Amino acid sequence: MSAGASLGAEVAGAIDISTLETPCFVTDLGALEANLKILADVQQRAGCTILLALKGFAQWSTFPLVRKYLAGATSSSVAEARLAREELGGEVHAYAPAYSDGEMRELLTLADHIVLNSPAQWRRHRKTIEHARLGGRHISCGLRVNHEHQEVEVALYDPAGPCSRLGTTRTNLTAEDLDGLDGLHLHTLCQVNSDALERALAAFETRFGEFIPRMKWVNFGGGHHITRPDYDRELLVRLLTDFRARWNVPIYLEPGEAVALGTGILVSSVMDTFHNGMDIAILDTSATAHMPDVLEMPYRPVIIGAGAPDEKPHTYRLGGMTCLAGDVIGDYSFDRPLAAGDKLVFLDMAHYTMVKTSNFNGVRMPSIALHDPVTKQITVTRRFGYHDYRDRLS
């Protein structure tokens, strides 16, 4: 990765947040473009097509930049498919574990590729899809398969774990099930390097290789950490090039996290401090409402200027403003005592943050902003308020 591809502490610390309202997500357009250039280079050298996975990053104010480098987007719902069609353009792909009849009718007006999770879903929707084709819609359909090869340590994010609901295993698939389908979709990775893809492809070819010659495309899903500094992109390019040569079939990749990795920050303010067994600081952001992966993964986000507990003179437990007892971001140490009004900057907060925020307790969701590295200006593109909370309920 080039030096400008990640919004590290030094670069993020140079962003002027002195007058910024909090909480606020800020995406740096320079870091985002650096990631996109890396992905475009992989596309060109490997001869594959890379799509933005909206489940990981859907900040549509950045789409004018994204569309310069990527061919389109993949969606996990009808709403995401509509966002891709109306705001990004290009190819629109879709996959969900199941679609209702109404969802499929709407999806057929939006998507170019639709991946079904099971042969039963294909049988249920095939007539509707073929009717749309007769009406002039060029829609390619595929099946998600599960090679049952595990590379993900956290069960919550492992699509290939025991009794998985995602994809069709080889024992549940017959050659007749693929009649009328154009592609196979495989997604069993999460935050891994290309050596994991190498092993996954070997398992995929062992279990499903007999069907690949029938296919017009294959899709290796997401989870590829392509823009991470230590990611072996040369191995990735070689794997994809060799697969295409072996099977003579186009390849799609769907990274969401790799697009936005290291491109954004979350700026928060200290609201109160007190002592209860240890020093505690309450922030105007929340782990459960604004960055739930902190609790679900779990992981400890990096804060500019902060250290591990007791590494620096003043250690605090940072908590959110919700009533959930476990709404705790973690324990951090600082060079000086925290006080109400101090701003804290969390790094790497563009992917799987904005897309997963909620109004739990009616708390306001963080504003969304863009930072232009040339002009140094921050532009707030979205503010949230009471009506955003009220209008999602009834």
pLDDT digits (tens, 9 = 90+) for 330-339: 999 999 999 9
CB 287 within 8 A of CB 302: no
Summarised one tens digit per residue, pLDDT across range 273-284 is 999 999 999 999
pLDDT at 2: 33
* Mean pLDDT value across residues 155-167: 92
The pLDDT, as a whole number, for residue 7 is 72
pLDDT in the model for residue 6: 63
User: What is the reported pLDDT for 3?
Assistant: 33
The pLDDT tens digits of the residues spanning 213-229 come to 999 999 999 999 999 99
pLDDT in tens, 307-336: 999 999 999 999 999 999 999 999 999 999
Model pTM score? 0.94
pLDDT of 26 reads: 97
Band the pLDDT of 356: cuts 50, 70, 90.
Answer: very high
Average pLDDT value for the chain: 95
> What pLDDT was estimated at residue 367?
98
Q: In this predicted structure, what is the pLDDT of residue 8? A: 76
Which residues 6+ apart lie within 8 Å of 8 measured at CB? 262, 347
Domains and CATH numbers, the chain: 47-260 (3.20.20.10), 264-390 (2.40.37.10)
Distance CA(350)–CA(353), nearest Å, equals: 6
- For 183-199, how does the pLDDT look when each residue is reduced to its tens digit (9 = 90+)? 999 998 888 999 999 99
Buried b (16+ CB within 10 A) or exposed e, 127-160: eebeebeeeeeebbbbbbbbbbbbbbeeeeebbb
Residue 4 pLDDT? 36
Residue range 266-306, pLDDT digits in tens: 999 999 999 999 999 999 999 999 999 999 989 999 999 99
Residue 351 has pLDDT above 80, yes or no: yes
pLDDT of residue 154: 87
pLDDT in tens, 52-85: 999 999 999 999 999 999 999 999 999 999 999 9
pLDDT of residue 350: 95
